[in-house]
Structure 1
Amino acid sequence: MDKRPKTIPTPKRLIYDRIAEQGVVSKAELLSAFSMTSSTLTRVLEEMLAERLLLESGLGNSSGGRRPILYQINPTYGYIFGLEISRLYSSLGLFDMQMNPRSFTRWQMDEAMTPDRFIDHVASNMKAFLRDHHIDREHVLGVGIGAVGPLSREKGIILKPLHFPARGWTDLPICELMEASTGFNSYLENGTNTALMGEQWAHRQENVQHMIYVHAGAGLRSAMMSHGQIVHGTVDMEGSIGHMIIQTDGPRLHDYGNYGALEAYASVQALEKQARSQLKRGRADLPDYLQVPPEHLNFSLLVKALHQDDPFARELFIQSATYFGIGLANLINVFHPEKIIVGGALINSHDIYYQTAIEVAQRNTYYSSDYQPVFSKGTLREDAVATGAAIMVWKNLNL
């Protein structure tokens, strides 16, 4: 359940975060960063050393006197699980306090992956990770879950997600079930938000304050960060970007949502729908492995065809990427972020998808001569959601 504190960070928390962000820090650097006396800082540092939150990390360079003691966070103070719940694939990672992944696993979400089986699978892998690294359960500080929305973060419930292959994922109290199965405190957040948290951590030295993350897969999801903080709306509807209208008289992907919405042009399901429609029309210039019943023509086969430079697949992916780039430009023109990170199955399908989308977005960005945001696939790629979920727990520890 949501046990996250809403209080102002303590001096200990501020110092801990600063050292974690910088890697190795001297007392003088901490004094220049925070308005506290030398004696107060010394006392707090001694407490944190005694609690094993921090370690001394050798001596720094001298500026005329004695060489200063350097401090770093203790990576083995505790461990955190980061869990991704997505429609196509899910993943689990075990992280130390420096957010180094000690173990990582990923698996496909198919029709058999019901919530019960999913939780059993996660619990089994958690036990294996702890056993492999000789870590006692008492050293696990929690489980962060980055999941497909919509959801209730405070209640720890996945509400009404779309397009899951297996049944049972609606109104699912995932935190309660995870805690009952594993005994570890669990925390829930939208997966795109945790992906953005993970990427911010990976780029923390750059001090980027305004970022957007867009995930293009079975659906479209987005997250935004302003002044280094995740922006939460009144409701957790991370898939709303998919219902951005880009053509008023356009098609509808399903029997809900907006006509002419972005998801009807740039999503895995839209791509499959378009390909199956072409197949039903008797398109003859397809390779043998695409000559299948329309309902069997799936994303994996299309990616295979794209990598073999099949003209049919290339046309489909470039068209999808073009529309996705238009959606990116719309976001950029409204929010003007410093950095835009894109991920998901479509982005990772082939370099041509990413390159086409970014080129289209750049051409349609207003003030493009004076304002040029940075585009990236991200540093963590497919590990971003689970890593950010672990960071969420790390950031909300009571210190």
Structure 2
Amino acid sequence: MIYLDNNATTRIDPRVLDTMMPFLTDNFANAASTHPFGVSASNAVKTARQQMADLIHCDPHELVFTSGATEAINLALKGVAEVYGQTKKHIVTVQTEHKAVLDVCVYLEKRGYEVTYLPVQPTRNAGAGLLDLALVKEAIRPDTLLVSVMWANNETGVIQPIREIAQLAHDTGALFMTDATQAVGKLPIDVDKDGIDLLTFSAHKFYGPKGVGGLYVRQHNLAGSSIRKVKLEAVLHGGGHERGLRSGTLNVPGIVGMGKAAELAPIADRQEIQRLTSLRDQLESELLQIPGTSVNGDREQRLYNTTNICFENCDSDALIMGLEGIAVSNGSACTAASIDPSHVLLAMGLSETEAFSCLRFSLGRFSTEADVIATINAVKGVVEELRALV
């Protein structure tokens, strides 16, 4: 199997698994228990919390562990709505956000909130997939509670100018949240310098286990700035775990694994980043030699491991089926069962036919040049076969 679907999920790093194993076997205690076994588990959680905090440059007590990014997004959006919604009922987000954000916004609209869904630059324009900062500024109002913008898009890899958008939000007194699921572990993040109030992440996107993630919630005022501590109402109740914000027995093995994955994150490994960039560019340049192909999204402001390519007159499902032994995708894994075209690509101006003709290739730590060469040859062959049928 050649695996080029790392934005859907990454393979767990063997070093992460080794760190987890004791907490799946001998050290199985509940981290909330007060006996020595429980204290040992609690100490392991504290270590992981520090490792995760070091990755995004926050205080450990500002992290709330969850089952993943979707739960964290629900807690963030619904939690701030409960606290601040009496006076502010306007939210600004983006048409290309993950469904975890968009679906919660629809839920809040049914409860009296107004949501502005900002467009992005069309795919054939310079800055494709990027927000127009002038539109962001125009959309934020005195009654805007929150601006929520995905850091890096899961389908195209496009990276938004988060620091600038956060500043626009804070200038008007709004909170700023980012779904950083695709950014954590891949890009340098400093929540103070970047002006982040709320940030979500999931371990399985950066070589950790599935079923664990978290939410950063600002718990300190930023000196010399209007950025203040964020209040949040819990969504899950029953025991008061995680400072009362997320009740439930902690997933100790998962949290420990996520901490180790954070410690191993390649954000400072220039050699690894250059390797993946080179492999991505090699894959992309060869595939773009196929007539009737184009890249979706800005080719500069994007993740170094991701390319999304449109193949004219080729159904993406047929492409995927033809690529036997090669794992790629035609959109978000969370909407893979949907028969609708990618909402991200439609928002970027592609027609439904074009959106149904795109593949996302996302490389990772275990990708090799041999994988890339084999994929290039396979894709060229399948595209030729499919077009011969038209």
Structure with the bigger RCO (C-alpha within 8 Å, sep 6+) is: 2
TM over 0.5: no
| Structure number with higher strand proportion | 1
Tell which structure's C-alpha radius of gyration is larger.
1
TM-score (norm 1): 0.30
TM-score (norm 2): 0.31
